[in-house]
Structure 1
Amino acid sequence: MKKLIALLMSVMIVLGSLAGCGSKKEETTKAQETTKAQETTKAQETTAAKEETTAAEASDLAYVKERGKLVVGITDFEPMDYKDESGEWIGFDADMARGFAESLGVEVEFIEITWDNKALELSGRIIDCVWNGMTLTDEVKSAMECSNAYCNNAQVVIVKADVADQYQDVESLSDLAFAVEAGSAGEEEVKALGLNYTPVSTQADALMEVAAGSSDAAVIDSLMAAAMVGEGTGYDELTYTVGLNSELYGVGFRKGSDLAAALNDYFKEAYGDGTMEKCAETYGIQAALIEQ
């Protein structure tokens, strides 16, 4: 009898043990299935995030919209970009940039840049575009994705008014010491002519050099000259004489950026409904949309 009882207890222990193993195996399987499901979900989320990042990286338009802000690189350049009495950036370019940002459903932020570093500022994503009366030179077009031209311009020579009659052609400029903005179309012109010059940070600095007598002459944009030089301006003792070229203004984006095409569409709309012309009249310039 004792042997029978002992045998039955042994069988029960074995069966209990087998049942326990089965339960543990089921629990392990369920845990493994849960872990796999979690890993699959995480992998899907990671893939989706990567796809969003890749899309933003591939598309500047998507990047700007996702961030909710268009960062515009400028310099103090009246009548295109300059500050009013309250310190707000205004001007033809500033106002048009605001309108473009609004059309994208984002805010606009203006950052003053060193003009000679504009391409680096773009590639480093410090700014999204250069919108500052920028001449569409071959160098600019090779380094940036540029919009269609929206304004005609020229580089002109600035001298003191009391000696202006001595400098009415290119040949008369050879003995002058010039101040020009580094990296500008003006610098390209004086270089091409082999003239003696000192690079300065901005076109406004070039004007100050001439007014102070530190330089004999400057080369700046004709639009800026019309706004800042001559009777009724802060530089009434200066005037402009020789025109060195004719050129076009455009906006620069990162190479391959889809924002350039978006801006061209905005320009067409603004030009067609009169918005661009009205803005140009406000700042005394002539807008001329030129598709390339």
Structure 2
Amino acid sequence: MKKKIILLTALVFLMGTIFTGCGQSKSGTDNSWNEIKQKGQFVVGLDDSFPPMGFRNDSGQIIGFDIDMAKEAAKRMGVKVVFKPVQWDGIILSLKNKDIDLIWNGLTITDKRKQQIDFSNVYLQNKQIIVTTKDSPIKSKKDLASKVVGLQLGSSSETALNSDTSTKNSLKEIKKYSNNTEALLDLKNGRVSAVIVDEVVGRYYIAKKPGVYKVLNDNFGKEDYGIGIRKTDTSFKNKLNETLNSMKKDGTEDKISKKWFGEDIIPH
């Protein structure tokens, strides 16, 4: 009888250990931030050819808005940041496989992506803006009627315009370019009347040409940017959100925004 009691006690203890272990494994949240602190760094995966979010300068260094944001966040969190260029079409798999710890690269928050990964709080809102020359009489979407409008082929701007059928159908012509630089140059030279472009990209180039362009109040929709993180890494995500909030609260994020976009485009 005594042996049975001992065996039963041992069995209960073993089951408790198994269920506790399963709970910890299932949540996977308690140790993620501690693991980052122990490593002393987190690895950011990115496409290093996406100005102004993350790209290489003439010296080959990776720079950009998201790069400055990640460096500042790491500094406040007391760890280092390592930037790892990854093929964009496989970047979520790289995150899941723990090749990287974060995706911090102008990543749009979508329902489809939410099924696979988690996100930080929204730190930037990207709009599909309308850019004209400084002296243009165009003031709204309605004024685009019978005008030639430029945009990048296959871009979010093209998708956004296609979704606004009334505006699209009112245009005289849509000129499609291989990149936004060419579109904005044609706008400057009067070959198109307006350009539709991602705000983060458009304002970056506009800031380099002060007094040449203006941005209309009207836009073709917004999308939220968040930092991609594994669903299991809740404690790391919480620490990251806490850090982002402090950067927003003390105006640091605004300063980084003005550096890269010419003005503060941070949602408040």
TM-score after normalising by structure 2: 0.61
Residues 74 and 220 of structure 1, relative CA distance in 2, 3 Å threshold: farther
2:241 is aligned with 1:269 = no
Shift of 1:178: 7.0
> Partners of 1:108 and 1:271 in 2: how far apart?
19
Matches within 5 A, 1:141-160: 141-156=114-129
> Partners of 1:92 and 1:139 in 2: how far apart?
25
Equivalent of 2:204, from 227, 232, 236? Answer: 227
2:70 is aligned with 1:90 = no
> Partners of 1:285 and 1:98 in 2: how far apart?
20
2:254 is aligned with 1:254 = no
Whichever residue aligns with residue 248 of structure 1, its letter is: D
Shift of 1:150: 1.8
> Partners of 1:112 and 1:267 in 2: how far apart?
23
Residues 143 and 180 of structure 1, relative CA distance in 2, 3 Å threshold: farther
> Partners of 2:113 and 2:196 in 1: how far apart?
19
The CA deviation string for residues 105-136 of structure 1, in whole angstroms up to 9 with x for no partner, is: 32211122333333222212222111122222
Could you say which structure has the greater relative contact order, defined with CA pairs below 8 angstroms and 6 or more residues apart?
2
> Partners of 1:118 and 1:193 in 2: how far apart?
31
- Residue pair 2:150, 2:196 contacting (<8 A) in 1 also: no
In structure 2, stretches of 5+ residues that fail to align are 1-20, 169-177, 187-191
Q: Which structure has the larger Rg?
A: 1
Q: Secondary structure at the match of 1:133?
A: coil
Residues 113 and 172 of structure 1, relative CA distance in 2, 3 Å threshold: farther
Shift of 1:275: 2.0
In structure 1, stretches of 5+ residues that fail to align are 1-49, 196-204
Residues 116 and 288 of structure 1, relative CA distance in 2, 3 Å threshold: same
Displacement over 4 Å in runs of 4+:
156-159, 168-173, 175-182, 185-188, 190-195, 208-211, 216-220, 238-242
Equivalent position of 1:66 in the other structure: 38
Matches within 5 A, 1:39-118: 58=29, 59-75=31-47, 76-118=49-91
Taking only aligned residues, the RMSD between alpha carbons, in angstroms, comes to 4.4
> Partners of 1:178 and 1:149 in 2: how far apart?
26
Residues 272 and 157 of structure 1, relative CA distance in 2, 3 Å threshold: closer
Identity over aligned pairs, percent: 27
> Partners of 1:104 and 1:181 in 2: how far apart?
38
Whichever residue aligns with residue 151 of structure 1, its letter is: L
Equivalent position of 1:21 in the other structure: none
